[in-house]
Amino acid sequence: QVQLVESGGGLVQPGGSLRLSCAVSGRILRIIRMAWYRQAPGKERELVAAIAAGGSTTYADFVKGRFTISRDNAQNTANLQMSNLEPEDTAVYYCNTDAWWSERLHREYWGQGTQVTVSS
């Protein structure tokens, strides 16, 4: 069973910072990509940042420069360091991975999400 567990969400004032973490466990052969998405009430889910197996990163234009995605050496944890947060960043943040689960097949896995609230 593959599990993605997010942590680090919470309440922060505008201009503050949060660090989200995603721990991956279970039946995965190789990780192709890890990413963070977010979804605000009444809005569609959107990509925030992604990091490929080789270490290359992708950021949404809206958050680039404020957020940094990283991973640990074993590729079993992904982090999202968020700075200068604004109320519009309020959303549920979801960890996502695209991974090979056999030599021929790959699929996406999702975490349960962690709430980030930016409010004064």
**Radius of gyration of the chain measured on its C-alpha atoms:** 14
DSSP of 47-80: EEEEEETTS-EEE-TTTBTTEEEEE-TTS-EEEE
The Cα–Cα gap between 85 and 82 comes to 7
Q: What is the mean pLDDT of the segment spanning 76-84? A: 94
Instruction: Examine the pLDDT at 108 and tell me if it is beyond 90.
Output: yes
Provide the pLDDT for residue 64: 76
Q: Which residue has the higher pLDDT, 115 or 30?
A: 115
Provide the pLDDT for residue 75: 67
Instruction: Examine the pLDDT at 76 and tell me if it is beyond 90.
Output: no
Cα angle, residue 10 at apex, residues 24 and 65 outer, rounded to 5°:
75
